[in-house]
Amino acid sequence: MHSSFDFVKLNALLRDFYNLTKIRITVFDDSLREIASYPEEIAPICRFIRGNARAEAACHRCDRDACARARELRAPYVYRCHAGLTEAVSPVFVDDAIVAYAAFGHLFCYPEREEGRRTILDACRRYGLEPGELGALIDALPAMEEGYILSAAHILDAVASYLYFDRMVTLKQQPIQAQIDEYISGHFAEDIGAASICARFPISRTALYEFSKRNYGMGIAQRVRQLRIEHAKHLLLTRPEMNITQVAEACGFADYNYFITVFGKLTGTSPRRYRARNA
């Protein structure tokens, strides 16, 4: 199955949510790709934080963990993100299957402004962000009470339900091979392999191996490494502010030396030389 969205209705609904709450709302598909948001621009503080590669990677991990928690709860999940801002996410169900997530975030929710300012600065210190600029962006955030955010989370849950009831999102049959390919392409930077794929999809290891050989000409582990290195090449050329260690982490390599080895085997050169040669 894959989800199909009525973007005209969806964008109108997200706009209505924002007009009521003044909180930016986003809808992700089940692979956590952003498909719609209102307003389209992210908050200045998030744009600043995500300008740092390690902080951006932490944002993606935080989103994945929050969606996983909402999936377990089958209900809205309100939490404080890695940077100290308050966010919420609610799963969207179609026929008992989660097909999307509605989320809002980037909110300042602390009893005392100075306490919140200090907490956010402390949380972001690990990323080496310029504290003066970050502090100014924190000061520009409107303070929101916990009760207001909880009420907004309840409306968010209603939005998630309405997506289904008004048929803004539907499920269409998709061959399992296409589902697997889409899953690998969207999650190659995570800890995935044959075991996790077989656990997620109704397919045996033998069938998965045959599918991988037929479609990729290689095993699943090789395919994942290939996708990671292709992404690494892209980051090396388009994100000059990222050092080699940060590129490795963003592509799913926890071991720097292993990344260098795999990159060399697949490209015939080192990441540093690849970047210098193609700059």
Is residue 197 within 8 A of residue 208, CB to CB? The reply is yes
Answer yes or no: is pLDDT of 271 > 80.
Answer: yes
User: In the structure encoding, which two tokens stand for residue 236, read together?
Assistant: 């090396």
The predicted pLDDT at position 6 comes to 74
Reported confidence tier of residue 176, pLDDT bands at 50, 70, 90: confident
Condensed to tens digits (0 to 9), the pLDDT of residues 194-253 reads 999 998 888 899 999 988 888 888 899 999 999 999 999 999 988 889 999 999 999 999
Burial string for 76-93 (b: 16+ CB within 10 Å, else e) reads bbbebbbbbbbbbbbbbb
Residue 95 has pLDDT above 80, yes or no: no
Q: Domains of the chain, with CATH numbers?
A: 2-170 (3.30.450), 176-278 (1.10.10.60)
- Under 8 Å CB-to-CB from 8, ≥6 apart: which residues? none
pLDDT, mean over the chain: 89
Per-residue confidence (pLDDT) for residue 153, from 0 to 100 = 96
Q: Is 84 helix (H, G, I), strand (E, B) or coil?
A: coil
Q: What is the pLDDT of residues 229-241, one digit of tens each?
A: 999 999 998 888 9
The whole-angstrom separation of Cα 179 and Cα 192 is: 15
- Over residues 111-169, the pLDDT tens digits come to 999 999 999 999 999 999 999 999 999 999 999 999 999 999 999 999 988 877 766 66
85: pLDDT confidence band, cut at 50, 70 and 90?
A: very high
Are 124 and 89 in contact by the 8 Å Cβ rule? The answer is no
